[in-house]
Amino acid sequence: MAATRSLSRTVALIKINHPPVNALSTPVCEALIKEFAEAIKDPSIEAIVLCGANGKFCAGADIREFSSASRRTVSLEGINAEIESSKKPVVAAIEGVALGGGLELALSCHYRVAHIKAVVGLPEVLIGILPAAGGTQRLPRLIGIPAALDIIVRGRHVPATEAFQLGIVDEVVQSSAIDAAVQMARKVIGKPLASRRLSTNTVQYNINVDAFLDTALEKAKRQFRGAQAPLACIDAVRASAQLPYQRGIEKERQLFASLWATGQPQAQQYAFFAERNVGKWTLPSGERWDNVRPCPVRTAAVIGLGTMGRGIVTSLSKANIPVIALEQDTKQLDLGKKAVNGLLEREAEKLKKQGSSSPDGNGLGSVHFTLNFEDLKEVDLVIEAVYENMNLKKEVFRKLSSVMKPDAFLCTNTSGLDIDEIASVTHRPELVIGTHFFSPANIMRLLEVVRGRHTSPTTIATAMSLGKTLGKVAVLVGNCPLFVGNRMLGPYLDQANYLLEEGYYPEEVDQALEEFGFAMGPFRMMDLAGLDVGWRSRMEKGLTGSRVPPGTPARQREGKRYCPLADMLCELGRFGQKSGKGWYQYEKPGGRNARPDPWIRDFLDKYRNTYHIKQQAISPEQILQRCLYALINEGFRILEDGIASGPEDIDVIYNNGYGWPKHRGGPMFHASAVGLHEVLMVLEGYHKANPDVPSMKPSFLLKKLAAVGGPPIKEWRTQLGKLPNKL
C-alpha cells in the first residue's frame, strides 16, 4: 500500500509506505489525498499524525516521474492545501529524512516533531529545479527570508537540532517521533489553527528585502556560474515577500517550467542517477557489486603524511575507523601529526554542533602516529600516499608485503602510475589496488578505484565499499597511464597552452571556461596545483631539461607539437601560488588572489615573435570547442580502451573531481547534447589543419557513434560490447 491509516484512539495515523525512501510517486499522492479526505470526514477522528514507514518520513518527489508531461492526477501542492486547510490538527512525525517534497508536505502540517537524528531540507536546486509544491513560499513565512534562502539556494540538509533552533520543527525527541507526534496531536485538539497555516501568514522581516535579495542574486551568479536553478530559487523567495501566497505559488510554477526548458534539470538529473549507479560495477568475468562480498575494514594505516596523506587519515577517522599513520622521520611525523590533529579538532567540533558525537567519545576513529612499519602488521588495509615516484612506491610496497598480515589489502594513492608494476614487488598482487583520492582528501568526494591485472574481485569490492564508508563517490576504472580523469586532462591542458601560443592570454582562456561553468580555468588551476608538479613529471619523461636530445626543436617532441611555455616559467622560478607568481601574479607567496600579470603578456608577445607565430583571431566559442572537445575525444578513447565501463562513469569522475559544472551533466553528456556529429566535424577540421596534434584526431568510437546517427548517451553502452574491457 502507498499510504495506510490506523487509529490511536481519536488520533488517525497516516503512514507513507513506498520503499526505500517513501518517494511521492503518483500512486502515493493519490493514496494520501484519499486517506486524508476520509480522516477529515470521520467524526471519530479529532487529530491526524502523518509519518513514514521504516524510519523515514519522505525523501521527496519521485525523480523518475519528472520527465512525464502529465505525471499526476493530483498535485503535491493540492495535497498540501488539503492538509493545511484541515480543521483537525495535523502533526508531521519526521524520522530519517524530510527532503524536497517531503519537507513541503511537513510544512503544510500544523505542527512538526522530529527525531534527533532526522534531517530536513529542500535540495531540489541540486537537480536543477526549485521546490515547486509551496516550499519557496511556506518556508520564508516560517523562518524568515535569510534562513530560508540559505537552505533553498544551497540545497542544504539541516540536522534536526538546527531545524528546531530555526523554528522549522516544534519539538525534537530522542525516542519515537511518531509517539511524540501522537502526544502532541492530543494536546492541540481544539486549539486554534489559523496561525499554524503558513500560507495565510505574511513573511516577517526587518531588513531591506530587495537589497538583500539583489546581493544574494549577484553572489549566486558568481558562485554558480551559468546554473539557473539557484537564481530561480531567489526569484521564488522574492515572490514570497512581494506577492500574496497564491500568486507566489503561480510564480513558483512558472519558474519551474522555465527551468525545465533550459535543459539543465535533465543534465543534473542524469548526473544524479549516474552517481547513484556508478557503484554497481561488473567485471567481464561476471563478478558484480551484488555477488561479491567485501571484507570488513576495522583498522587501517596510511603511509605518508603530506597533504594527501593527512586528508586520507582524516577521512578514515571521520568514518570511525582507527588509523595508524606512518612517516619516515620524526620531523615529518611531528608536522603531519600537528596538521592531522588540527583537522580532527575541526571535525569533532562539527560533530558536536550536529549532535552526532557519541556519549563515550567524539565520534572519530583513533589515530596512532608511528615511524615503525612493524606497527602495521595487524591492520586490515593500508593506503600508501608517498611522493609520486615509482621507485619510492615499490620500496614501500616491498616493506608492506613482508610486514603486513597475509590477507591485508595494499592500496596505492598514485594519480597515474602503473598499478601492476607496483604490485609486482609484492607476494600478493591480487590484494593490490589503486585508490586515487583527490586533494584535499577529507573534502573532495571522488575516489578512482584502479583495478590491476591481478586484482581480485574481493579486493575491488572492499575498496569500493571503503569508498562508500568514507562518504566518497567511488568509480572503478582500469589501469593505464593517468587512469581516467588525469588522462583526459592532458589534451585539455595542451589546447589551453596552444591557445596562448596563438594569441590568447591566460585570463582570457580562463574566463571562457569559467563562464561555461568551471569553478576554475586551466591556468588558475595549474597555479593552484603548482607548475613545478607537471614540470618534474615532464623532466622524468625526458620532455624537458637535460634529457632532451640536442637539436630538438623547442616546439616539437618526436614529431608532435609541444608547448614549452610552462617549462620556461618554472625555469624562472614561477611555480604558481606557492611562489607568488606563475601564470598570474599573487599578493605574496601562498596568496590566493590571482591578478593578470603584465610581465606574462610581455613574455608571451616575445615568445610569439621569437617563433614567428602569427596571432590568430579566436572566439570564446572556439576556446571552448578546442579545450572541451579535446577532453571529450580522450574520453571516447578511454571507452575504446575499456578503461571506463561507460560514459556515465567518466561524467561522474569529472563532475566530482575536476570541477565540471554539474548543470551541464558531464563531458560525455555535453558531447551528446551538442551533437556527436558537431563534435566530430570540429575535431576533423582541427586535426586536418594540425596533424602534429594526434590527441585531436577523432577517436574510432566517436566516428562510429556519429555514423549511426549519434544515439542518446544511454544507448552508447550497446556500442561498447565488442570493445576491450580492462575492468
Same domain for 109 and 242?
A: yes
Same domain for 341 and 396?
A: yes
Residue 220 pLDDT:
94
Distance CA 97, CA 355 (A): 16
Provide the domain limits for residue 583: 504-611
Kindly state whether residue 397 falls inside one of the protein's structural domains: yes
Report how far apart, in Å, the C-alpha atoms of 349 and of each of 116, 315, 343, 360, 364 are.
18, 15, 10, 15, 11
Q: Of 242, 261, 280, which one is at a domain's C-terminal end?
A: 261
Kindly state whether residue 433 falls inside one of the protein's structural domains: yes
Strands (DSSP E) along 261-313, which ranges?
300-303
Contact (Cβ atoms closer than 8 angstroms) between residue 344 and residue 367: yes
Q: What is the CATH number of the domain that holds 229?
A: 3.90.226.10
Distance CA 117, CA 355 (A): 8
Distance CA 480, CA 416 (A): 7
Contact (Cβ atoms closer than 8 angstroms) between residue 419 and residue 479: yes
Contact (Cβ atoms closer than 8 angstroms) between residue 302 and residue 326: yes
Q: What type of residue is 249?
A: I
Write out residues in the chain with pLDDT < 70, as ranges.
Answer: 1, 4-5, 66-74, 354-362
- Closest alpha carbon to 447 in 418, 480, 424, 413: 413
Kindly state whether residue 290 falls inside one of the protein's structural domains: no
| Strands of the sheet with 323-326, listed across from one edge | 367-370, 323-326, 300-303, 381-384, 409-412, 432-437, 446-451, 473-478
104 noted as active-site residue: yes
* Helix (H/G/I), strand (E/B), else coil: 155: coil
Same domain for 541 and 407?
A: no
Pinpoint the alpha helices (H) of 519-675: 522-529, 531-540, 565-571, 598-610, 620-640, 647-657, 667-674
Residue 68 pLDDT:
52
Residue 67 pLDDT:
60
Same domain for 602 and 696?
A: no
Q: Of 562, 590, 611, which one is at a domain's C-terminal end?
A: 611
Q: What type of residue is 340?
A: V
Residue 652 pLDDT:
98
Q: What type of residue is 365?
A: G
The predicted-structure confidence for 341-358, as pLDDT tens digits, reads as follows 999 999 888 877 766 555
In our burial notation (b when 16+ CB lie closer than 10 A, e otherwise), range 250-274 reads: ebbeebbeebeebebbbbbbbbbeb
Same domain for 141 and 218?
A: yes
378 noted as active-site residue: no
Same domain for 448 and 402?
A: yes
End-to-end Cα spacing for the chain:
41
Kindly state whether residue 193 falls inside one of the protein's structural domains: yes
pTM of the model: 0.91
Distance CA 483, CA 641 (A): 11
* Helix (H/G/I), strand (E/B), else coil: 370: strand
Distance CA 357, CA 17 (A): 31
* C-alpha cell at position 450: 584502479
Same domain for 523 and 638?
A: no
Same domain for 130 and 257?
A: yes
Q: What type of residue is 192?
A: P
Tell me the torsion sign for CA atoms 325, 327, 332, 333: positive
Residue 70 pLDDT:
42
Kindly state whether residue 288 falls inside one of the protein's structural domains: no
Catalytic residue, chosen from 77, 95, 104, 384, is 104
Q: What is the CATH number of the domain that holds 416?
A: 3.40.50.720
How many CA within 13 A on the CB side of residue 28? 25
Same domain for 544 and 602?
A: yes
Residue 4 pLDDT:
67
Catalytic residue, chosen from 35, 77, 84, 124, is 124
Q: What type of residue is 197?
A: R
Q: If 0-12 CB within 10 Å is exposed, 13-18 middle and 19+ buried, where does residue 8 land?
A: middle
- Closest alpha carbon to 23 in 96, 107, 83: 96
Residue 551 pLDDT:
92
Radius of gyration of the chain (CA): 28
Residues 6+ apart with CB under 8 A from 580: 586, 587, 588, 589, 590, 591
Same domain for 468 and 570?
A: no
Contact (Cβ atoms closer than 8 angstroms) between residue 605 and residue 504: no
* Helix (H/G/I), strand (E/B), else coil: 704: helix
Q: What is the CATH number of the domain that holds 520?
A: 1.10.1040.10
Same domain for 599 and 634?
A: no
Residue 198: count other Cβ atoms within 10 Å of its Cβ: 20
Q: Of 261, 282, 308, which one is at a domain's C-terminal end?
A: 261
Tally of structural domains, the chain:
4
Kindly state whether residue 287 falls inside one of the protein's structural domains: no
Cα torsion at 247, 250, 251, 253 (round to 10°)? 160
Kindly state whether residue 289 falls inside one of the protein's structural domains: no
Kindly state whether residue 499 falls inside one of the protein's structural domains: no
The predicted-structure confidence for 62-117, as pLDDT tens digits, reads as follows 877 766 544 455 689 999 999 999 999 999 999 999 999 999 999 999 999 999 99
Widest pairwise Cα distance in the chain: 97
Distance CA 536, CA 529 (A): 13
Same domain for 230 and 89?
A: yes
Rounded (to 5) percent helix, strand, coil in the chain = 50, 10, 35
Distance CA 421, CA 395 (A): 12
Residue 359 pLDDT:
46
